[in-house]
Amino acid sequence: MATDVMAAPGAVTGGKIKSELMQQRVRAARWFLLPMLIALAVVAGWPLLRSIYFSFTDASLNDIGGAEWVGFSNYLRVQVLDSGAVRYRGLLVDPAWWNAVWNTLRFAVVSVSLEAVLGMLVALVLNAEFRGRGIVRAAILIPWAIPTIVSAKMWSWMLNDQFGILNDLGMRLGLLSQKVAWTATADTAMTAVLIVDIWKTTPFMALLILAGLQMVPKDIYEAAEIDGVHPVKQFFRITLPLVRPALMVAIIFRLLDALRIFDLIYVLTPNSAATKTMSVLARENLFDFDKFAYGSAMSTLLFLIIALLTILYIWLGKVRFDGGDR
Protein backbone atom coordinates (compact mmCIF):
# COMPACT_ATOMS: atom_id res chain seq x y z
CA MET A 1 0.00 0.00 0.00
CA ALA A 2 2.83 2.37 0.90
CA THR A 3 4.55 1.66 -2.40
CA ASP A 4 1.37 2.46 -4.32
CA VAL A 5 0.92 5.70 -2.44
CA MET A 6 4.53 6.70 -3.07
CA ALA A 7 4.27 5.82 -6.80
CA ALA A 8 1.09 7.80 -7.31
CA PRO A 9 2.66 11.31 -7.31
CA GLY A 10 5.24 10.16 -9.87
CA ALA A 11 2.51 8.82 -12.13
CA VAL A 12 0.58 12.06 -11.85
CA THR A 13 3.72 14.09 -12.62
CA GLY A 14 4.51 11.88 -15.63
CA GLY A 15 0.98 12.24 -16.93
CA LYS A 16 1.15 16.02 -16.52
CA ILE A 17 4.46 16.22 -18.45
CA LYS A 18 3.03 14.04 -21.22
CA SER A 19 -0.05 16.26 -21.43
CA GLU A 20 2.08 19.42 -21.65
CA LEU A 21 4.24 17.82 -24.35
CA MET A 22 1.13 16.97 -26.38
CA GLN A 23 -0.12 20.55 -26.06
CA GLN A 24 3.24 21.84 -27.30
CA ARG A 25 3.04 19.53 -30.30
CA VAL A 26 -0.47 20.73 -31.10
CA ARG A 27 0.61 24.38 -30.89
CA ALA A 28 3.63 23.67 -33.12
CA ALA A 29 1.41 21.88 -35.64
CA ARG A 30 -0.93 24.87 -35.77
CA TRP A 31 1.98 27.21 -36.47
CA PHE A 32 3.21 24.95 -39.27
CA LEU A 33 -0.30 24.81 -40.75
CA LEU A 34 -0.82 28.57 -40.55
CA PRO A 35 1.14 29.49 -43.75
CA MET A 36 -0.77 26.85 -45.73
CA LEU A 37 -4.12 28.10 -44.42
CA ILE A 38 -3.21 31.68 -45.33
CA ALA A 39 -2.20 30.57 -48.83
CA LEU A 40 -5.46 28.65 -49.25
CA ALA A 41 -7.46 31.64 -48.07
CA VAL A 42 -5.76 33.91 -50.61
CA VAL A 43 -5.67 31.49 -53.56
CA ALA A 44 -8.98 29.66 -53.07
CA GLY A 45 -11.08 31.30 -50.36
CA TRP A 46 -11.05 34.88 -51.66
CA PRO A 47 -11.88 33.97 -55.30
CA LEU A 48 -14.68 31.71 -54.06
CA LEU A 49 -16.21 34.50 -51.99
CA ARG A 50 -15.90 36.89 -54.94
CA SER A 51 -17.64 34.40 -57.24
CA ILE A 52 -20.48 33.99 -54.76
CA TYR A 53 -20.79 37.77 -54.51
CA PHE A 54 -20.81 38.27 -58.29
CA SER A 55 -23.57 35.68 -58.64
CA PHE A 56 -25.89 38.14 -56.88
CA THR A 57 -24.96 41.06 -59.16
CA ASP A 58 -25.22 42.05 -62.83
CA ALA A 59 -21.43 41.99 -63.31
CA SER A 60 -19.93 41.71 -66.79
CA LEU A 61 -16.35 41.39 -68.01
CA ASN A 62 -16.42 44.94 -69.35
CA ASP A 63 -17.43 46.49 -66.03
CA ILE A 64 -16.80 44.18 -63.09
CA GLY A 65 -16.16 47.09 -60.74
CA GLY A 66 -19.51 48.67 -61.56
CA ALA A 67 -21.57 45.60 -60.71
CA GLU A 68 -24.87 46.27 -58.98
CA TRP A 69 -26.72 44.01 -56.57
CA VAL A 70 -29.66 42.14 -58.16
CA GLY A 71 -30.34 39.52 -55.51
CA PHE A 72 -31.39 36.07 -56.71
CA SER A 73 -32.24 37.19 -60.25
CA ASN A 74 -29.44 35.11 -61.75
CA TYR A 75 -30.79 32.01 -60.02
CA LEU A 76 -34.54 32.52 -60.42
CA ARG A 77 -36.74 35.43 -61.37
CA VAL A 78 -40.37 35.81 -62.39
CA GLN A 79 -41.12 37.71 -65.59
CA VAL A 80 -44.67 38.88 -66.36
CA LEU A 81 -45.30 39.47 -70.08
CA ASP A 82 -47.59 42.14 -71.51
CA SER A 83 -50.14 39.42 -72.21
CA GLY A 84 -50.26 38.54 -68.54
CA ALA A 85 -48.39 35.26 -68.97
CA VAL A 86 -45.82 34.41 -66.31
CA ARG A 87 -42.39 33.17 -67.31
CA TYR A 88 -39.61 31.92 -65.06
CA ARG A 89 -36.05 32.82 -65.90
CA GLY A 90 -32.71 32.06 -64.28
CA LEU A 91 -30.26 29.28 -63.69
CA LEU A 92 -32.60 27.02 -61.72
CA VAL A 93 -34.93 26.68 -64.73
CA ASP A 94 -32.24 26.66 -67.41
CA PRO A 95 -32.38 23.37 -69.41
CA ALA A 96 -28.73 23.77 -70.48
CA TRP A 97 -27.64 23.90 -66.84
CA TRP A 98 -29.56 20.81 -65.79
CA ASN A 99 -28.27 18.97 -68.85
CA ALA A 100 -24.74 19.86 -67.70
CA VAL A 101 -25.56 18.66 -64.16
CA TRP A 102 -26.80 15.34 -65.55
CA ASN A 103 -23.73 14.94 -67.76
CA THR A 104 -21.41 15.67 -64.83
CA LEU A 105 -23.12 13.25 -62.45
CA ARG A 106 -23.29 10.51 -65.07
CA PHE A 107 -19.63 10.96 -65.94
CA ALA A 108 -18.58 10.99 -62.27
CA VAL A 109 -20.55 7.89 -61.25
CA VAL A 110 -19.57 5.75 -64.24
CA SER A 111 -15.91 6.77 -64.35
CA VAL A 112 -15.25 6.50 -60.62
CA SER A 113 -17.06 3.15 -60.35
CA LEU A 114 -15.10 1.59 -63.22
CA GLU A 115 -11.85 3.09 -62.00
CA ALA A 116 -12.42 1.65 -58.53
CA VAL A 117 -12.96 -1.86 -59.92
CA LEU A 118 -10.09 -1.71 -62.41
CA GLY A 119 -7.85 0.02 -59.87
CA MET A 120 -8.48 -2.79 -57.39
CA LEU A 121 -7.57 -5.42 -60.01
CA VAL A 122 -4.39 -3.57 -60.98
CA ALA A 123 -3.44 -3.06 -57.33
CA LEU A 124 -3.89 -6.78 -56.58
CA VAL A 125 -1.60 -7.65 -59.49
CA LEU A 126 1.02 -5.11 -58.44
CA ASN A 127 0.86 -6.34 -54.85
CA ALA A 128 1.85 -9.85 -55.90
CA GLU A 129 5.50 -10.85 -55.90
CA PHE A 130 7.01 -11.41 -59.38
CA ARG A 131 10.18 -10.53 -61.22
CA GLY A 132 10.26 -6.99 -62.56
CA ARG A 133 7.50 -5.79 -60.23
CA GLY A 134 9.22 -2.44 -59.69
CA ILE A 135 9.40 -1.73 -63.41
CA VAL A 136 5.75 -2.64 -63.90
CA ARG A 137 4.72 -0.39 -61.00
CA ALA A 138 6.58 2.53 -62.55
CA ALA A 139 5.24 1.85 -66.06
CA ILE A 140 1.62 1.62 -64.91
CA LEU A 141 1.79 5.23 -63.68
CA ILE A 142 2.74 6.67 -67.08
CA PRO A 143 -0.86 7.43 -68.20
CA TRP A 144 -1.52 9.28 -64.94
CA ALA A 145 1.77 11.19 -65.18
CA ILE A 146 0.98 12.54 -68.65
CA PRO A 147 -0.67 16.00 -68.44
CA THR A 148 -4.40 15.86 -69.16
CA ILE A 149 -4.17 18.30 -72.06
CA VAL A 150 -1.47 16.19 -73.73
CA SER A 151 -3.31 12.90 -73.26
CA ALA A 152 -6.60 14.45 -74.44
CA LYS A 153 -4.96 15.76 -77.61
CA MET A 154 -3.30 12.41 -78.20
CA TRP A 155 -6.60 10.57 -77.85
CA SER A 156 -8.39 13.10 -80.06
CA TRP A 157 -6.11 12.02 -82.92
CA MET A 158 -6.53 8.34 -82.09
CA LEU A 159 -10.33 8.78 -82.10
CA ASN A 160 -10.39 10.86 -85.29
CA ASP A 161 -12.93 9.49 -87.77
CA GLN A 162 -10.64 9.90 -90.80
CA PHE A 163 -7.09 9.38 -89.53
CA GLY A 164 -7.59 7.75 -86.12
CA ILE A 165 -5.84 4.48 -85.37
CA LEU A 166 -8.85 3.06 -83.51
CA ASN A 167 -11.09 3.32 -86.56
CA ASP A 168 -8.33 1.83 -88.72
CA LEU A 169 -7.89 -1.15 -86.40
CA GLY A 170 -11.65 -1.62 -86.11
CA MET A 171 -12.03 -1.70 -89.89
CA ARG A 172 -9.09 -4.09 -90.35
CA LEU A 173 -10.34 -6.49 -87.68
CA GLY A 174 -13.91 -6.35 -88.92
CA LEU A 175 -15.22 -4.85 -85.68
CA LEU A 176 -16.53 -1.76 -87.51
CA SER A 177 -18.48 -1.62 -90.74
CA GLN A 178 -17.71 2.07 -91.20
CA LYS A 179 -15.60 4.74 -89.58
CA VAL A 180 -17.09 6.34 -86.46
CA ALA A 181 -16.74 9.97 -85.41
CA TRP A 182 -16.28 9.07 -81.75
CA THR A 183 -16.05 12.58 -80.31
CA ALA A 184 -18.44 14.28 -82.75
CA THR A 185 -21.42 11.94 -82.44
CA ALA A 186 -23.79 12.44 -79.53
CA ASP A 187 -24.23 8.69 -79.03
CA THR A 188 -20.49 8.00 -78.65
CA ALA A 189 -19.07 11.28 -77.29
CA MET A 190 -19.59 10.43 -73.62
CA THR A 191 -18.25 6.92 -74.14
CA ALA A 192 -15.10 8.33 -75.73
CA VAL A 193 -14.56 10.75 -72.85
CA LEU A 194 -15.07 7.96 -70.30
CA ILE A 195 -12.56 5.71 -72.07
CA VAL A 196 -9.88 8.40 -72.00
CA ASP A 197 -10.55 9.34 -68.37
CA ILE A 198 -10.54 5.72 -67.19
CA TRP A 199 -7.31 5.04 -69.08
CA LYS A 200 -5.65 8.06 -67.49
CA THR A 201 -6.80 7.93 -63.86
CA THR A 202 -7.10 4.20 -63.13
CA PRO A 203 -3.36 4.13 -62.23
CA PHE A 204 -3.97 6.83 -59.62
CA MET A 205 -6.74 4.75 -58.06
CA ALA A 206 -4.53 1.65 -58.20
CA LEU A 207 -1.70 3.51 -56.48
CA LEU A 208 -3.87 4.53 -53.52
CA ILE A 209 -5.39 1.06 -53.18
CA LEU A 210 -1.93 -0.51 -53.42
CA ALA A 211 -0.82 1.63 -50.48
CA GLY A 212 -3.70 0.15 -48.48
CA LEU A 213 -2.81 -3.40 -49.55
CA GLN A 214 0.75 -2.89 -48.36
CA MET A 215 -0.59 -2.31 -44.85
CA VAL A 216 -2.41 -5.66 -44.67
CA PRO A 217 -0.38 -8.15 -42.55
CA LYS A 218 0.84 -11.21 -44.47
CA ASP A 219 0.20 -13.43 -41.44
CA ILE A 220 -3.56 -13.18 -42.02
CA TYR A 221 -3.28 -14.71 -45.48
CA GLU A 222 -0.94 -17.43 -44.23
CA ALA A 223 -3.45 -18.38 -41.53
CA ALA A 224 -6.28 -18.37 -44.08
CA GLU A 225 -4.33 -20.67 -46.42
CA ILE A 226 -3.62 -23.07 -43.56
CA ASP A 227 -7.35 -23.13 -42.79
CA GLY A 228 -8.08 -23.87 -46.46
CA VAL A 229 -9.94 -20.63 -47.22
CA HIS A 230 -10.52 -20.15 -50.96
CA PRO A 231 -8.70 -17.13 -52.51
CA VAL A 232 -12.02 -15.57 -53.54
CA LYS A 233 -13.26 -15.79 -49.96
CA GLN A 234 -9.95 -14.33 -48.79
CA PHE A 235 -10.56 -11.31 -50.97
CA PHE A 236 -14.11 -10.64 -49.75
CA ARG A 237 -13.54 -11.63 -46.11
CA ILE A 238 -10.00 -10.29 -45.55
CA THR A 239 -8.66 -8.03 -48.29
CA LEU A 240 -11.72 -5.92 -49.04
CA PRO A 241 -12.66 -5.12 -45.41
CA LEU A 242 -9.06 -4.24 -44.48
CA VAL A 243 -8.42 -2.12 -47.56
CA ARG A 244 -11.83 -0.41 -47.35
CA PRO A 245 -10.56 2.80 -45.64
CA ALA A 246 -7.97 3.36 -48.38
CA LEU A 247 -10.54 2.54 -51.06
CA MET A 248 -13.09 4.99 -49.67
CA VAL A 249 -10.53 7.80 -49.52
CA ALA A 250 -9.37 7.01 -53.07
CA ILE A 251 -12.96 7.16 -54.30
CA ILE A 252 -13.63 10.51 -52.68
CA PHE A 253 -10.47 12.00 -54.22
CA ARG A 254 -11.48 10.76 -57.67
CA LEU A 255 -15.09 11.87 -57.13
CA LEU A 256 -13.93 15.42 -56.44
CA ASP A 257 -11.86 15.41 -59.64
CA ALA A 258 -14.66 13.91 -61.72
CA LEU A 259 -17.30 16.39 -60.55
CA ARG A 260 -15.17 19.35 -61.60
CA ILE A 261 -13.89 17.82 -64.86
CA PHE A 262 -13.05 20.48 -67.42
CA ASP A 263 -9.84 20.12 -69.43
CA LEU A 264 -10.47 16.64 -70.84
CA ILE A 265 -13.94 17.48 -72.13
CA TYR A 266 -12.90 20.95 -73.30
CA VAL A 267 -10.24 19.42 -75.56
CA LEU A 268 -12.04 16.28 -76.74
CA THR A 269 -15.63 17.48 -77.15
CA PRO A 270 -15.72 21.29 -76.71
CA ASN A 271 -19.06 21.90 -78.41
CA SER A 272 -20.98 18.71 -77.67
CA ALA A 273 -24.12 19.09 -75.56
CA ALA A 274 -23.90 15.36 -74.78
CA THR A 275 -20.73 15.81 -72.73
CA LYS A 276 -20.83 19.45 -71.61
CA THR A 277 -20.29 19.53 -67.84
CA MET A 278 -20.97 22.19 -65.23
CA SER A 279 -17.38 23.48 -65.34
CA VAL A 280 -17.37 23.78 -69.13
CA LEU A 281 -20.73 25.56 -69.17
CA ALA A 282 -19.66 27.94 -66.40
CA ARG A 283 -16.49 28.83 -68.28
CA GLU A 284 -18.44 29.53 -71.47
CA ASN A 285 -20.77 31.94 -69.71
CA LEU A 286 -17.98 33.60 -67.76
CA PHE A 287 -15.73 34.41 -70.70
CA ASP A 288 -17.17 33.36 -74.07
CA PHE A 289 -20.70 34.74 -73.72
CA ASP A 290 -19.76 37.65 -71.41
CA LYS A 291 -22.37 36.60 -68.86
CA PHE A 292 -20.05 36.99 -65.92
CA ALA A 293 -22.73 37.12 -63.24
CA TYR A 294 -24.61 34.17 -64.72
CA GLY A 295 -21.37 32.17 -64.95
CA SER A 296 -20.57 33.07 -61.34
CA ALA A 297 -23.96 31.69 -60.33
CA MET A 298 -23.09 28.46 -62.13
CA SER A 299 -19.74 28.31 -60.36
CA THR A 300 -21.46 28.86 -57.01
CA LEU A 301 -23.96 26.07 -57.62
CA LEU A 302 -21.14 23.82 -58.80
CA PHE A 303 -19.33 24.42 -55.52
CA LEU A 304 -22.49 23.71 -53.51
CA ILE A 305 -23.27 20.52 -55.42
CA ILE A 306 -19.74 19.18 -54.95
CA ALA A 307 -19.75 20.11 -51.26
CA LEU A 308 -23.14 18.46 -50.63
CA LEU A 309 -22.25 15.27 -52.52
CA THR A 310 -18.92 15.03 -50.71
CA ILE A 311 -20.50 15.49 -47.28
CA LEU A 312 -23.21 12.96 -48.17
CA TYR A 313 -20.61 10.44 -49.32
CA ILE A 314 -18.51 10.87 -46.19
CA TRP A 315 -21.59 10.52 -43.99
CA LEU A 316 -23.13 7.50 -45.73
CA GLY A 317 -19.79 5.78 -46.29
CA LYS A 318 -18.59 6.53 -42.76
CA VAL A 319 -15.28 7.72 -44.16
CA ARG A 320 -12.47 8.69 -41.83
CA PHE A 321 -9.21 10.16 -43.09
CA ASP A 322 -7.12 8.64 -40.31
CA GLY A 323 -7.46 5.18 -41.82
CA GLY A 324 -10.22 3.88 -39.51
CA ASP A 325 -13.98 3.40 -39.54
CA ARG A 326 -16.60 5.13 -37.51
Domain boundary assignment for the chain: 2-54, 95-316
pLDDT of residue 131: 84
Pairing of strands 77-80, 86-89: antiparallel
Containing 41, the helix (H) or strand (E) segment is none
Q: What is the pTM of this model?
A: 0.84
The CA distance from 103 to 23, in Å, is 48
Indicate if the pLDDT at residue 227 is higher than 90: no
What's the mean per-residue pLDDT of the chain? 87
pLDDT band at 180; cut points 50, 70, 90: confident
The rounded percent of the chain whose pLDDT value lies above 70 is: 92
The CA distance from 267 to 270, in Å, is 6
The CA distance from 119 to 135, in Å, is 18
Report the top-level CATH class of 95-316: mainly alpha
The CA distance from 106 to 113, in Å, is 11
pLDDT of residue 92: 93
Residue 135, CA distances (Å) to 10, 126, 141, 207 in order: 55, 10, 10, 14
pLDDT of residue 1: 47
pLDDT of residue 15: 62
Indicate if the pLDDT at residue 322 is higher than 60: no
The CA distance from 108 to 262, in Å, is 12
Q: What is the pLDDT of residues 21-59, one digit of tens each?
A: 888 888 888 898 899 889 988 888 898 999 999 999 999
Residue 311, CA distances (Å) to 25, 79, 103, 254 in order: 29, 35, 21, 15
Residues 6+ apart with CB under 8 A from 190: 103, 106, 107, 274, 275
Q: What is the pLDDT of residues 232-245, one digit of tens each?
A: 888 888 888 889 98
